[in-house]
Amino acid sequence: MKIRVLIQVILTTLAIHSTGYAGSNDKTLWRQAEYGMTPAQVLKVFPHAQKNPNPDRVSLTMSYSHVIIPSTRISSIDFEVSFFFNATGLVQVTLIAERTINEYSKQLVSLLNQKYGKPIEIDGNSCYDRVEWYADQLSISIFNEYSPCYDNSSVSIYYGHSRYDAMNSL
């Protein structure tokens, strides 16, 4: 579990260069979850959501997973959904499937290519792959972990608002 959290932090660091919402009219992160929502609003919008008794922390965004959906099915795969909040409100939504099928991961990448265009970055080695897109202020990443490097294979999908162009504006 600790390795998975560490990988999430590393991926978040790579995926979210500088969090913050600036200028876009669309605040949607995932489904009806919008950037800046409160935990109470997320609990109201998602009937199967619940307060997380043991929130994970993402140090880069100073956020905690105060709300989770323990299981939601997407194309026959069960994902746990975590909603991460900081002082701004909702800043990230993470979906994690404990087991993954490589073909399913390829289908996810294909669907996200259709929706968001060509990925901005593709990275990986024998233990993981990561594919990342940016659309306006939304960053989307898919991260696959493979055995034997990890105890269990998994696929994670991250949705977050980011300032991709922040470095260019300095």
- pLDDT (tens digit per residue) in 13-29: 333 332 333 344 678 88
Distance CA 23, CA 50 (A): 31
DSSP letter at 126? Answer: S
Which pLDDT score, from 0 to 100, does residue 84 have?
A: 95
Residues of the domain holding 128: 2-169
Instruction: Give residue 148's pLDDT.
Output: 66
What domain count does the chain have? 1
Angle at alpha carbon of residue 111, lines to 82 and 116, rounded to 5° = 85
Check residue 85 and give its pLDDT.
96
Longest CA span, the chain:
44
pLDDT beneath 70: ranges in the chain? 1-25, 99-103, 147-148, 150-152, 162-170
What is the value of pTM for the model shown? 0.72
Q: What tens digit of pLDDT does each residue of 147-168 get?
A: 667 666 778 888 887 643 443 4
The pLDDT, as a whole number, for residue 7 is 44
β-strand partners of 159: 93, 140
pLDDT at 108: 80
* pLDDT for 21: 36
pLDDT given for residue 74 in this prediction: 79
Find where tokens 């795969």 sit.
Answer: 77
Q: Give the helix ranges, DSSP H, for the chain.
A: 2-15, 39-45, 102-116
Instruction: Find out whether 82 and 56 touch, Cβ atoms under 8 Å.
Output: yes
Distance in angstroms (rounded) separating the CA atoms of residues 8 and 63: 12
Residue 34 three-state SS: strand
